[in-house]
Amino acid sequence: MIRLIGILAGLFFSVAALWGLGNGLATVIADGQLKEPTVEHEFHLPARPANLQSDGPFGTWDLAQLQRGFQVYKEVCAACHSLKFVAFRDMAALGYSEAEVKALAAGFQVPGIDPATGEATLRPGLPTDYFPSPYPNAVAAGAANNNAIPPDLSLITKARHHGTDYVYSLLTGYRNVDTFSIGGKNVRDEFPEFATPPNTHFNPYFANLNIAMAPPLTAEGQVTYAEGQPRATVDQMSKDVAAFLTWTAEPKKVKRTQVGWPVMGFLLFATILAYLAKGQVWAAIKPKKKHA
């Protein structure tokens, strides 16, 4: 009797689960068919690949590109965006000498304490300091940017889906909403009511298509690269700063993959060795035959 009750209860819950799954699928399908397409659904673009040297399981850092990317950050992005999780001494990993790191740190003003009065003050940075924020607090940051607080860029490529490609695409993705079209469909023709609010800019790589940040990279040569480096086009500068922000978010990325391959090889060898050892240990023991 107890077994019968258990079977019936199991059938009841199985039918209920299947009914819930079917009802959910029907609702999703119906919603997808009945809902009108939105401008975000029709005109939001997936990120374009940056194709960096550090991509893939065998990627390596391009130190020259990382230095160019840091130059773009310092001369363009640092005016609004902080890099609070990166210390000046970390820059030595990009090929800067100890003297260059000290000079770099000294070029920034960081919060300090006046030893004579004990009051808060600003002082030249030291290699052990972290990159300071361009604003004293979030309220000041919002006030200076039409209430849109610029995000910290230390981990931005880890905080966004396909972060490296997203940063690269976003910086090169500003368009004129009046002329933008995809597959022959124009934004204005398909969604006449769509508008770019004041103090925002149309960018199809941004989630809701309207971003508060004005185009930071607007012209070739906006940043002057050293002799022998690629031309400082908007595309090149965007790719370089995306590479640099990939490094700030995951400075051990290349080292981890380089260590990972020998570890994977060792684990594979150990697995094969364990399998062969198991066969050797149990070879003399014959399984008992089952009687009919």
- 228-256 pLDDT per residue, tens: 999 999 999 999 999 999 999 999 999 99
Q: Which of 187-191, 201-205, 251-255, 282-286 has the lowest mean pLDDT?
A: 282-286
Mean pLDDT of 98-127: 92
**How many structural domains does the chain have?**
1
Biggest alpha carbon–alpha carbon distance for the chain: 97
20 within a domain of the structure (yes/no):
no
Highest mean pLDDT among 1-5, 29-33, 131-135: 131-135
Query: Residue 140: pLDDT above 90?
Result: yes
Report how many helices (DSSP H) and strands (DSSP E) the chain contains, helices first.
Answer: 10, 6
**Residues in binding site for heme c:** 77, 80-81, 213
Give strand pairing partners of 113.
120
213 within a domain of the structure (yes/no):
yes
23 within a domain of the structure (yes/no):
no
What Å distances lie between residue 130 and 71, 91, 154, 161, CA to CA? 17, 11, 11, 26
pTM above 0.85, yes or no: no
31 within a domain of the structure (yes/no):
no
Q: What is the CATH number of the domain that holds 71?
A: 1.10.760.10
Q: ∠ at Cα 244 (54, 107), nearest 5°?
A: 150
Higher pLDDT, 279 or 151: 151
103 within a domain of the structure (yes/no):
yes
* Sequence-ordered list of residues with C-beta below 8 angstroms from that of 129, at least 6 positions apart, any chain: 87, 88, 105, 108, 110
- 14-52 pLDDT per residue, tens: 877 788 777 776 665 655 554 578 888 899 999 999 999
Would you say 91 and 104 are in contact if contact means Cβ atoms under 8 Å apart? yes
**Residues in binding site:** 77, 80-81, 213
Cα–Cα distance for residue pair 5/11, rounded to 1 Å: 10
Would you say 104 and 96 are in contact if contact means Cβ atoms under 8 Å apart? yes
217 within a domain of the structure (yes/no):
yes
Cα 264 to its chain centre, rounded Å, is 26
Which DSSP letter does residue 107 get? Answer: T
Q: Domain of residue 167: give its range.
A: 61-254
Cα–Cα distance for residue pair 148/237, rounded to 1 Å: 24
Phi/psi for 225 (5° steps) reads: -80, 155
Other CB atoms within 10 Å distance of the CB of residue 212: 15
220 within a domain of the structure (yes/no):
yes
The predicted pLDDT at position 174 comes to: 97
DSSP string computed for 33-76: HHSPPPHHHHHPPPPPP---TT-STT----HHHHHHHHHHHHHT
105 within a domain of the structure (yes/no):
yes
The predicted pLDDT at position 34 comes to: 44
Structure tokens at 135: 């604003």
Cα–Cα distance for residue pair 38/36, rounded to 1 Å: 6
Which DSSP letter does residue 135 get? Answer: S
Mean pLDDT of 183-191: 88
